[in-house]
Chain A
Amino acid sequence: MAKEKLKVAFYWAASCGGCEIAVLDINEKILDVIQIADIVFWPVAVDVKYKDVENMPDKYIDVCFFNGGIRNSEQEHMAKLLRKKSKLLIAYGACAHLGGVPGLANVADKKEIFEKVYKTTFSTDNPSYATPKASLHVKEGEVDIPEFYDTVLPLDKVVDVDYYVPGCPPAVERTTFALDAIAKGELPTKGSVLAPVKSVCDECPRKKENKKIAKIYRTYEKAPEPERCLLEQGIICMGPATRGGCGGARCLKADMPCTGCGGPCPNAPEQGAAMISALASILGLEEEKEKYSDEDVEKLMSQVKDPIGTFYMYALAASILGRRVMKK
């Protein structure tokens, strides 16, 4: 009782909400958390208004778990506000860490996204092409909604981030690891990703023999052999380019390839490039070397459908180029 309880906040920005559930995935351990922590702000569970956060003194919150990337002005405002009010700001989950799946929207811009969503989708009936406007004058006065940005940004491109908890959503191990480290005050250097440095392959129980493939299968095209490495069977698995710590290659135990939610390994910070490199090394017909033409290679590589969606499913917004070049 002597020690003062930690003040903890949770917030969500451009994310699906899965990370909020992931917090509860720690099951009965949540009771231990409550022993040492008070929740001072958590829009999904606790009724605390933005104004209450604004009224907190600076650095009032001990730890803020922030999930989701930044794609509109409200999220940017809250990121900056929570940074100011928190001692530790933790990017929780792939979206805050790398932009996540919403970051794939960086292959388009606001105009294209609005066209698709409010006009051209098959189920949309919007003849006047009404789209959200950041502010609108009506007879009662001015109505404001958050402004939608062209680009999704990971949290650390907007504010200073202390630690990252990777995963989509973070595995129970990652959440408890972070909570334990905070409770014991044994946190590593600022800016660390709170996960092991080794890749998913390193933790994967599947048998790896000889990596050499000539044909790529998409997951629905093949029932994989249960114990052999999926990449060796021609199914693109992001394991070699993805940081582990997800609970022993969880997806692979369920016969699904890794899609890369753990983010890049520390020694190859561009996840997509690392995977392009890895895949190009094993995809080929080495024994037919002499007959290798540019067209053959082109055909071989064309088997990769949707290269950006495959190699940059979570890390597009945090990649070197970050987004498709803006038109104009």
Chain B
Amino acid sequence: MSDEKKFEPKIIGFLCNWCSYAAADLAGVSRIQYPPNIIIIRVMCSGRIDPSFILEAFKDGADGVLVAGCHLPSDCHYISGNFKALRRVTLLKKVLRDFGIEPERLRLEWLSASEGDRFAAIVRDMVEEIKKLGPNPLKAKEVEA
């Protein structure tokens, strides 16, 4: 029980430069409170996120991964990067399930530059969800061994 209380998930957030990173920035400038569990990596576009980045994050012990990009259908700075991200993440979730990693740990969201509050809400929600799921099963195994 005490272990469960102590568990603080580590979340990797891949945020696109044009919308969702700006949303996180806005959350910061507006001093909106959200849990410090997310480590943000800024990428130029959600379409730049190779599925191997996400697999690598899970392998290295991330409890959750957030991929965020510009709103569908037409906010993407590069026209269709968000669609590519949507399809990649959808397909990757199926593969993750087969690898024994809960697909709920991987989350895809669309955030515009003005949605700082929504970014904070998503992080709060994700931390709660992952606390319920528990630590990354790969990490749990390592601790045991």
Contacts and interface: CB of A to CB of B under 8 A. Distances in A.
A292 B72 contact: yes
Contacts of B56: 320
A320 B108 CA distance: 21
Interface in B44-58: 50-52, 55-56, 58
A325 B141 contact: yes
23 contacts: A269-B52, A273-B50, A273-B52, A273-B55, A273-B92, A277-B88, A280-B88, A280-B90, A283-B87, A284-B83, A284-B87, A286-B80, A286-B83, A290-B73, A292-B73, A297-B87, A301-B87, A301-B90, A304-B91, A307-B94, A307-B95, A320-B59, A321-B58
Nearest to B89: A280
Interface in B89-103: 90-92, 94-95, 98-101
Q: How large is the interface on B (under 10, 10 to 19, 20 to 34, 35 or more residues)?
A: 20 to 34
Given A289-B73, A321-B55, A325-B99, A298 B90 contact: yes
B83 A289 contact: yes
Contacts of B121: none
A107 B97 CA distance: 11
A270 B52 contact: yes
Interface string A260-301: 000000001110111011011101101001101010011011
A294 B92 CA distance: 14
Given A273-B52, A280-B87, A281-B84, A304 B94 contact: yes
Interface of A: 107, 268-270, 272-274, 276-277, 279-281, 283-284, 286, 289-290, 292, 294, 297-298, 300-302, 304, 307-308, 311, 319-321, 323-328
Interface string B111-145: 00000000000000000000000000110010010
A90 to B, nearest CB: 27
A276 B80 contact: no
A104 to B, nearest CB: 11
User: Which interface residue of A270, A294, A325, A326 has the most chain B CB atoms within 10 A?
Assistant: A325
Interface of B: 50-52, 55-56, 58-59, 72-74, 80, 83-84, 86-88, 90-92, 94-95, 98-101, 137-138, 141, 144
Contacts of A274: 50, 52
A284 B47 CA distance: 14
Contacts of B59: 320-321
A127 B88 CA distance: 46
Contacts of B88: 276-277, 280-281
Interface of B is mostly: helix
A297 B95 contact: no
B87 A300 contact: yes
Question: Which secondary structure characterizes the binding site on chain A?
Answer: helix
Contact of B141 (A279, A297, A307, A326): A326
A311 B50 contact: no
A307 B91 contact: yes
Given A273-B50, A328-B144, 4 more contacts: A270-B55, A320-B55, A320-B56, A326-B100
A283 B90 CA distance: 12
Contacts of B55: 270, 273, 319-321
Contacts of A292: 72-73, 83, 86
Contacts of A327: 100
Contacts of B80: 286
A210 to B, nearest CB: 15
B98 A308 contact: yes
Nearest to B92: A276
Contact of B90 (A290, A297, A319, A326): A297
Contacts of A304: 91, 94
B95 A311 contact: yes
Contacts of B87: 280-281, 283-284, 297, 300-301
Nearest to A322: B59
Contacts of A301: 87, 90-91, 94
A270 B101 CA distance: 18
A273 B53 CA distance: 9
B52 A279 contact: no
A298 B108 CA distance: 13
Contacts of A290: 73
Nearest to B138: A325
Contacts of B74: 289
A324 B99 contact: yes
